[in-house]
Amino acid sequence: MNLLDRYIWKNALGGILIAWFSLIMLDSFFSLVSELEDTGDGKYTVLEAILYIIYTLPQRLYEYFPTSILVGALLGLGKLSSNSEFTAMRAAGVSIMRITLATLQLGLFLALIAFALGEWVIPVTDHYASHFKATQTSNNIAITEDRALWIKEKKEIIHIDKVLSREHLAGIRIYHISNNHRQLSDLTTIESARYIDKQWELHKVVTRIFKDKQVINDAVDKAYAETLVNPDILEVTVAEPDQLSSKQLDKLIQHQQKNGLSSDKLELAFWKHYSIPLSALVMLMLAMPFLFASQRSANTGQRVFIGIVVGITFFLLNSVLNEVGTVYNMPALVSAFFPVLLFLVVSLFALKRIT
């Protein structure tokens, strides 16, 4: 890396960090205001709400990654454009493509950071955040590292292997403790449960009753219960697909497909592990036409402002197309990569026009 590359990196990275910090702080503030609504009952305090927001910061960094890259690059490198430093570079024989490639090297580095965030950091921090909030709001809940859930209700201990949503559970075991709290009176296993019309619909229920040194088995294909688990309790324990690693998502996708259930949202989250890091390179490529085109106009601030609007448009378009793709059963691969590929084509076309 020569002196010119380091200079470009320094200015671009400075702008990106400022934009990233600003967006995260703004989002965290509004999230904290929302969290404060759950405080005040003595169990979940303001300080604990602040800690919960801190634990979820990696997820927010990941969510605003593409927009921060574009806005930050325009802020950092826009200074070089407004000071005619790009003009001086080109006069010294440095081409637009050479400057773009130097910027993309930074993009590759940032893409690796984003991939590491989504694959290894966020699954750990979001699990800890969920566990923290669950234990602060209720003393009868524990979440294991593999996101299994333990709940104590009076004389019952409930283990839920997979909390797929607040209305859909899988792999349930209910341990009933005897009145003297010295032995297990019976064990109930449930393959899956769905919350429908204010009651739980249980599938493949097997109850084993331990009585007089023998085991009595009772099995039914379907049963109903009103008081299995309060869905409101599950709200803080449910892991959104975007909070899971690709390995965890792959296991859940296989589980859903094996049981004939929809896995569209899980597949979309799986492919976003790769499309979001790729967006770093696309956003930096998209920034370059605005920076070099602004040299031909005195209104550089206007050009940069347009670029910022484009970054916000990418964020909104990406969110909308992801949801539309899920609703209309579009392939998850298309939903995840279409916004990135669309902006890639636009950036390549714009670069071609200025070179």
Q: Based on the domain organization, do 168 and 131 belong to the same domain?
A: no
Q: What is the pLDDT of residues 339-348, one digit of tens each?
A: 899 999 989 9
Q: Based on the domain organization, do 311 and 335 belong to the same domain?
A: yes
Q: Based on the domain organization, do 7 and 74 belong to the same domain?
A: yes
Residue 189 within a domain: yes
Residue 249 within a domain: no
The pLDDT, as a whole number, for residue 299 is 58
Name the residue type at position 148: A
Q: What is the pLDDT of residues 48-78, one digit of tens each?
A: 999 999 999 999 999 889 888 988 888 888 8
Q: Based on the domain organization, do 207 and 327 belong to the same domain?
A: no
* Structural domains in the chain (count): 2
Q: Based on the domain organization, do 163 and 115 belong to the same domain?
A: no
* Domain encompassing residue 205: 148-238
Residue 252 within a domain: no
Q: Based on the domain organization, do 131 and 179 belong to the same domain?
A: no
Residue 93: CB atoms within 10 A of its CB come to 7
Query: Last residue of some domain: 204, 238, 272?
Result: 238
Which has the higher per-residue pLDDT, 18 or 141?
A: 18
Q: Based on the domain organization, do 225 and 280 belong to the same domain?
A: no
26-54 b/e with 16+ CB inside 10 Å = b? ebbeeeeeebeebbeeeebeeebbeebbe
Q: Based on the domain organization, do 343 and 268 belong to the same domain?
A: yes
pTM for this model (two decimals)? 0.82
Which has the higher per-residue pLDDT, 61 or 84?
A: 61
Residue 17 tokens read as: 């960090």
The β-bridge partners of 160 are 149, 172
List C-alpha distances in Å: 82 to 87, 105, 268, 334, 353. Answer: 10, 23, 40, 38, 20
Q: Based on the domain organization, do 58 and 198 belong to the same domain?
A: no
